[in-house]
C-alpha cells in the first residue's frame, strides 16, 4: 500500500505544504506519542533539529502534539541526526525525533523518528503511526499534559561519544583538515571534536542563518571544499551534509572520494585488525562493482540492499555486520552508532591517515571504480516507470549491457525524481543506455 506521509527516510516535503505543515507536525507528535505510550512510567521524547528557519515552527508543533497526549519533551536544539539517535538511547527516552530534510535545500524540512533503542522505526511502526495521524488520538487529561525542557549539555555528550570512536593512542596533531559543515546541524560539534583531537582546522559552512543550509557547501556541493583544500594545501577535506549523517572526503589534491572508497578503506582496516564482524560489508545496489571486487579479493563478502540507510542498517542487524553504507556517503559503523554518522566515519578515515603516514590521494584510492553514470529525471506526477514505452527501452538497454554491467532505475523516496544508473566496463555504452532511458522517462513524464 502506498504511504501518504512516510517515505524512505521519514516524512519530508516543502515547508508549509502538505505534509510538512505545522498542523500535520502536531498530528505526527500526537500519533507517535500515543503509539509509544507503553507502561506506567513517565514517558519522554527527545527532539533535535538542523539549522533550517522552519525548524523552530516544526519543533514547536511537534512539542504541542507530544505534550498534548501526555509525553514529556526534551529539546536539544541543532544536533546531528546520529546525535539524536545516540541521545535517545542514552537518556532512556521512549522516542527520538530529528527535524531535518538532510541534504535538501532550506525550504524543505522533514521528520525522522527513532525508537528507544536509537534505531529508525520499522515499516510496520511507521504504517501504524501513519494510520493514527488521520485518525482520532486520545488527549491527556489536563493534569497529565506533558512538560517541555531544553538541555544545554547535549553537544558535549555527543562530542565525547564521537571522540571515543577514535583510537585512544592516536592524535591528529600536525594534520591540516578542512571541515565543511554545510551550515547545518554539525556546525559546532564537528569542529570542536576535531580540534580537541589536535587537528589544525580550516572551517567552512559553519555560519548558518536559517536559509543557507546546504547552499553551495556540504557533501552534495563539494566544490567549495575542493577549492579550500587546494588553496590552503590541506592534508584532507571533510564535508558533511545538513544533518551530518553522511560524509564526502576530498583528498590533498582536491579530488572527491565517495562512500564506496571510504567503506573499502574502513572495512580493510577492520579486517586487518580483526574488528570486522560477520565477514562482510553491507552496501546498496548503487555501490560500484569495483568495491565488490576489492572486498572479494580480501575474502570479504558484499551484501547489497535497496537504496536507503535504513535498509542497510536492517541488513547489518540481521546478519551481524558492523560496517555498511552507501556510495552517497552514509557510513554506518555499528560498533559506535545506530545510524549513519559522518563525523564518526571521518574519524576512522583520519585514523588510517595517521597510521599509514601516506598522503590522502594515495591512501583513499583503494580500488579503480568501473565507469558508472547516474542521472536524475524530475517529474510532476504519474508513474513514468509504468509506461510501456519506458519499460521497452529499459528491457532493450538491459540486453545491451548483458553480463558486462548493471542497470539500476528507481524512484527517489525523498524527491519527485527518477534515478537512472548504469555501470559497466564500456564507458560509451554506459552513457548511451542512461541517455536512452532518461529520454524515454522524460517523454512519459
Q: What does the pLDDT look like over 340-352, one tens digit per residue? A: 999 999 999 999 9
Same domain flag for 71 and 87: yes
DSSP 259-275: HHHHHHHHHHHHHHTT-
pLDDT at 415: 77
Indicate the residue among 152, 176, 207 that finishes a domain: 152
Q: Residue 74 is inside which H or E element, if any?
A: strand 72-78
In the prediction, which pLDDT does 405 show? 86
* Same domain as 143, residue 22: yes
Question: Which residues share a beta bridge with 241?
Answer: none
Asked whether residue 352 is assigned to any structural domain, the reply reads: no
Examine the domain organization and report whether 268 and 211 are in the same domain: no
Q: What is the pLDDT of residues 220-264, one digit of tens each?
A: 999 999 999 999 999 999 999 999 999 999 999 999 999 999 999
CATH of the domain at 144: 3.40.120.10
Instruction: Judge whether 353 lies within some domain.
Output: no
pLDDT of 441 reads 94
Q: What is the pLDDT of residue 402?
A: 84
Query: d(Cα 17, Cα 143) in Å, to the nearest integer?
Result: 34
Q: Is 355 contained in some domain?
A: no
The CATH number given to whatever domain includes residue 430 is 3.30.310.50
Domain boundary among 247, 280, 297: 247
- The strand pairing partners of 160, in sequence order, are none
Residue 2's pLDDT is 65
pLDDT at 425 over 70: yes
Whether 302 and 376 map to the same domain: the answer is no
Do 137 and 15 share a structural domain? yes
Is 102 one of the catalytic residues? yes
pLDDT for residue 1 is more than 60: no
Residue 144 and residue 25 in one domain: yes
How confident is the model at residue 254, as a pLDDT? 98
Which cell numbers hold the place of 265?
A: 578503506
Element (H, E) at 83: helix 81-90
Q: Structural domain of residue 403, as residue ranges?
A: 372-444
Number of domains composing the chain: 4
Between CA 351 and CA 116, with CA 240 as vertex, the angle to 5 degrees is 90
63-112 pLDDT per residue, tens = 999 999 999 999 999 999 999 999 999 999 999 999 999 999 999 999 99
- Does pLDDT of 212 surpass 70? yes
Whether the Cβ atoms of residue 165 and residue 342 lie closer than 8 Å to each other: no
By CB atoms closer than 10 A (0-12, 13-18, 19+), residue 398 is middle
Q: Are residues 407 and 295 in the same domain?
A: no
Domain annotation covers residue 253 = no
Domain boundary among 212, 247, 282: 247
**Same domain, residue pair 209 and 239:** yes
Is 334 part of any domain?
Answer: yes
Tally of CB atoms within 10 A around 163: 17
Q: Are residues 279 and 397 in the same domain?
A: no
Are 99 and 55 in contact by the 8 Å Cβ rule? The answer is: yes
Are 147 and 161 in the same domain? Answer: no
Residue 277 lies in a domain: yes
Q: What's the number of CA atoms in the CB half-sphere (13 Å) around residue 41?
A: 8
pLDDT value of position 320: 97
The span from the CA of 308 to the CA of 6, in Å, is 13
pLDDT higher than threshold 90 for residue 36:
yes
Contacts of 346 (CB under 8 A, 6+ apart): 238, 240, 247, 249
Element holding 96 (H helix, E strand): strand 95-99
User: In Å, what is the CA distance from 366 to each residue of 104, 266, 287, 293, 400?
Assistant: 30, 10, 14, 11, 29
Write down the pLDDT at residue 380.
83
127: pLDDT strictly greater than 80:
yes
Residues 88 and 17 in one domain: yes
Going by pLDDT thresholds of 50, 70 and 90, the confidence category of residue 8 is: confident
How much is the pTM?
Answer: 0.90
At residue 257, the pLDDT reads 97
Mean pLDDT, the chain, integer = 95
Residue 242 lies in a domain: yes
% of the chain beyond a pLDDT of 70? 100
Say whether pLDDT at 421 is over 90.
Answer: yes
From 68, 102, 165, 287, active-site residue: 102
Q: State whether 395 and 436 are in the same domain.
A: yes
At 413, is the pLDDT very low, low, confident or very high (cuts 50, 70, 90)?
confident
Residue 348 lies in a domain: no
Amino acid at each position: 500500500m502506498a504511504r501518504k506521509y512516510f517515505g524512505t527516510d521519514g516524512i519530508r516535503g516543502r515547508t508549509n505544504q502538505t505534509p510538512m505543515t505545522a498542523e500535520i507536525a502536531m498530528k505526527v507528535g500526537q500519533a507517535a506519542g500515543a503509539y509509544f505510550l507503553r507502561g506506567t512510567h513517565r514517558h519522554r521524547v527527545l527532539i533535535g533539529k538542523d539549522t533550517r528557519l522552519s525548524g523552530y515552527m516544526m519543533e514547536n508543533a511537534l512539542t504541542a502534539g507530544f505534550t498534548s497526549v501526555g509525553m514529556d519533551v526534551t529539546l536539544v536544539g541543532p544536533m546531528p541526526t546520529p546525535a539524536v539517535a545516540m541521545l535517545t538511547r542514552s537518556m532512556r527516552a521512549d522516542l527520538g525525533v530529528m527535524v531535518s530534510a538532510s541534504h535538501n535545500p532550506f525550504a524543505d524540512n522533514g521528520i525522522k523518528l527513532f525508537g528507544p533503542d536509537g534505531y529508525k522505526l520499522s515499516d510496520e511502526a511507521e504504517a501504524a503511526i501513519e494510520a493514527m495521524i488521520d485518525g482520532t488520538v486520545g488527549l491527556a487529561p489536563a493534569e497529565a499534559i506533558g512538560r517541555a525542557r531544553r538541555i544545554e549539555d547535549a553537544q558535549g555528550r555527543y562530542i565525547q561519544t564521537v571522540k571515543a570512536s577514535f583510537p585512544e593512542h592516536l592524535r591528529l596533531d600536525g594534520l591540516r583538515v578542512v571541515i565543511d559543515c554545510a551550515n547545518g546541524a554539525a556546525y559546532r560539534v564537528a569542529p570542536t571534536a576535531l580540534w580537541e583531537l589536535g587537528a589544525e582546522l580550516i572551517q567552512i559552512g559553519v555560519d548558518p542563518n536559517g536559509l543557507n543550509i546546504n547552499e553551495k557547501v556540504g557533501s552534495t556541493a563539494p566544490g567549495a571544499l575542493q577549492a579550500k583544500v587546494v588553496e590552503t594545501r590541506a592534508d584532507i577535506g571533510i564535508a558533511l551534509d545538513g544533518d551530518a549523517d553522511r560524509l564526502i572526503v576530498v583528498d590533498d589534491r582536491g579530488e572527491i572520494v565517495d562512500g564506496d572508497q571510504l567503506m573499502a578503506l574502513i572495512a580493510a582496516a577492520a579486517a586487518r585488525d580483526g574488528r570486522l564482524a560477520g565477514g562482510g560489508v553491507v552496501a546498496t545496489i548503487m555501490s560500484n562493482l569495483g568495491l565488490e571486487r576489492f572486498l572479494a579479493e580480501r575474502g570479504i563478502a558484499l551484501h547489497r540492499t535497496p537504496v536507503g540507510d535504513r535498509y542497510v542498517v536492517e541488513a547489518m542487524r540481521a546478519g551481524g555486520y558492523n560496517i555498511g553504507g552507501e556510495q552517497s556517503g552514509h557510513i554506518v559503523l555499528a560498533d559506535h552508532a545506530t545510524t549513519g554518522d559522518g563525523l564518526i566515519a571521518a574519524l576512522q578515515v583520519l585514523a588510517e591517515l595517521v597510521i599509514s603516514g601516506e598522503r590522502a590521494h594515495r591512501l583513499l584510492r583503494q580500488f579503480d571504480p568501473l565507469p558508472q553514470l547516474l542521472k536524475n529525471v524530475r517529474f510532476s506526477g504519474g508513474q513514468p516507470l509504468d509506461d510501456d514505452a519506458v519499460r521497452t527501452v529499459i528491457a532493450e538497454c538491459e540486453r545491451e549491457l548483458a553480463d558486462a554491467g548493471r542497470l539500476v532505475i528507481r524512484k527517489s523516496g525523498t524527491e519527485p525524481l527518477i534515478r537512472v544508473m548504469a555501470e559497466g566496463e564500456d564507458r560509451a555504452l554506459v552513457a548511451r543506455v542512461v541517455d536512452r532511458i532518461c529520454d524515454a522517462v522524460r517523454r512519459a513524464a
